[in-house]
Structure 1
Amino acid sequence: MLPARHRLRERTDFTTAVRGPGASRAGGRLIVVHANRTDVRADHPPRVGFVVSKAVGNAVVRNRTKRRLRASVAARLSRLPTGLDVVVRANPAAATASWDELDLAVARQLDKACRP
């Protein structure tokens, strides 16, 4: 579980991270990562949100995928810049990916999306 200060919760925060001015995106076969840095949050810790739709699978599969993504991002949270909002969206292929594949995808896409 991510600490509360590192979680995106509001719909507007998700929308701003995905479509706001200055938003960046990096995607692959397993996941898509959206990132947005705003001046308003410059001194605040990074926040992360997850989107896992029904296209990924049933509730059990979606929750497992979300837990795996959360664990992978939590391990990299200290390396994210301050003031950054990140949304990690799982593609259907993420449901059948191994832990190593998913972890590598998260590392690659976070690096691409969070470049200054």
Structure 2
Amino acid sequence: MLPSASRMRRGDEFAGAIKKGSRAGRPTLVAHFGMRSGDDAPPMVGFVVSRAVGDAVTRNRVKRRLRHLMRDRLERLPRGSLLVVRANPPAASARSERLAAELDAALDRLLRRLEPRGARTDGR
């Protein structure tokens, strides 16, 4: 799964990403992205799966699937970043391919906002 140094555990880390960061929503998930000021630590990722998603078994399954998908995308995040992935109720019945596509779309949108204006060379 995720390396221990990249797992978000404290409430203030979650709050920092959710309240002060930017957000990208998709039908199955919402990603909140923030940066720690002056910190060169590895990126940290946390997951929020509410009771609206389903019972405990379903919530844990969704969380495991998201953790697995995020493990392969961790190197895309800049150092010092905080990412919170919040699952929406449709995530419980979504196929892994759809979760992966929506996670990629949300990450692309959030990371694109970090780039300075005019820095893109691919025409987007």
Q: Would the TM-score normalized by the shorter structure come out above 0.5?
A: yes
Q: Which residue of 2 aligns with 1:27?
A: 25
Which aligned pairs between 1:1-116 and structure 2 lie closer than 5 A?
1-20=1-20, 23-41=21-39, 43-115=40-112, 116=114
Give me the whole-angstrom Cα distance separating, in 2, the residues matched to 1:99 and 1:27: 17
Q: CA deviation at 1:40?
A: 3.0
SS in 2 for 1:33: strand
Q: What is the CA distance between 1:110 and its match in structure 2?
A: 1.2
| Stretches of structure 1 lacking an aligned partner (at least 5 in a row) | none
1:38 positional shift: 2.4
Deviant stretches of 4+, over 4 Å: none
Structure number, greater radius of gyration: 2
TM-score, scaled to structure 1? 0.94
Paired residue type of 1:10: R
How many residue pairs match? The answer is 113
Residue 73 of structure 2 aligns to a residue whose secondary structure is helix
Gaps of 5+ in 2: 115-124
Deviations 1:96-115 (A, max 9, x none): 00010011111111111233
Query: Identity over the aligned pairs, expressed in percent?
Result: 48
